[in-house]
Amino acid sequence: MKLSFILMTTLLGMAMTLFGCNNTPKPPIAIVPQVKLERFMGPWYVIANIPTFIEKGAHNAVESYQLAPDGSITTTFTFRQDSFDGPEKRYQPTGFVVDKASNAVWEMQFVWPFKSDYRIVYLNADYTQTVIGRDKRDYVWIMARKPEIPDADYQNILELLTRQGYDVGQIQKVPQRW
C-alpha cells in the first residue's frame, strides 16, 4: 500500500512537472504595423505551412481574398488533394478584421460560430510575400504572389518564425507546379 502511494505520488509529481513546462504561455506573436487591405487582396500561393488537417497532402494550394462591402473578407482556398492531378478541394471561410488600426489581426470563420486566430506576421514592402501566423504557434502559412520564392527569402522567413517562437522543423513546403 505504501509503495503504491509513493509510486502514484511520484508519477503525479512528474506529470505535473512535465505539463507545467509545456503550458508556459508565450507572449503574443508580433504582427506587421500596417496592412493596406485593398493591396493585400487577391491570390496568394501557399509556399509552405504547418498544415491543418484539411491541408495535409495539398498541392497547388492558393488562398484568395476579396474585400466584401460589409468589411468582411471573402476567402477562397483551393488545392489539389495528394497530387497535382488529385481532386480539387475548395473551402470558403470568411475573414473578419479584428484590429482596425493595423488590419493585421483577423479572425477566420470556416464554420459558424467558431473563429480562428489569423495574424499577418510578415509582409514585404511590395506585397509579394506574406506570413500568416497564430498566437498558439500551431499553424503558419508562408505565401507569395508567385508559386515560388527565392531560397534566401525563404530562409529569412524561417529565421523570423524561429524568433517568433515557432518550431520551424514542422513547416512543410507545399508542392506548386503550374
The domain that holds 66 is classified in CATH as: 2.40.128.20
Residue 11 falls within a domain, yes or no?
no
Residue 22 located in a structural domain: no
Confidence category of residue 10, pLDDT binned at 50, 70, 90: very low
Q: In the 8-state DSSP scheme, what is residue 38?
A: H
Range of the domain at 45: 37-173
Rounded to whole angstroms, the Cα distance separating 39 from 125 reads: 11
Q: Domain for residue 3, yes or no? A: no
Is residue 19 a part of any domain in this protein? no
In a domain? residue 14: no
Closest Cα to residue 119, out of 30, 46, 37?
Answer: 30
Q: Is the pLDDT of residue 15 over 60?
A: no
Could you give the number of structural domains in the chain? Answer: 1
pLDDT digits (tens, 9 = 90+) for 22-68: 455 678 899 999 999 999 999 999 999 999 999 999 999 999 999 99
Neighbours of 124 (CB within 10 A): 15
Cα separation, 132 vs 119, whole angstroms: 5
All 3 cell numbers of residue 30?
A: 508580433
* Residue 110 pLDDT class (50, 70, 90 cuts): confident
> In the beta sheet, which residues pair with residue 122?
131
Instruction: Look at residue 117 and tell me if it is in a domain.
Output: yes
Cell 462591402, residue? 69
Q: Is residue 46 part of a domain?
A: yes
Say if CB 88 and CB 82 are below 8 A apart: no
Is residue 1 assigned to a domain? no
56 within 8 A of 170, measured Cβ to Cβ: no
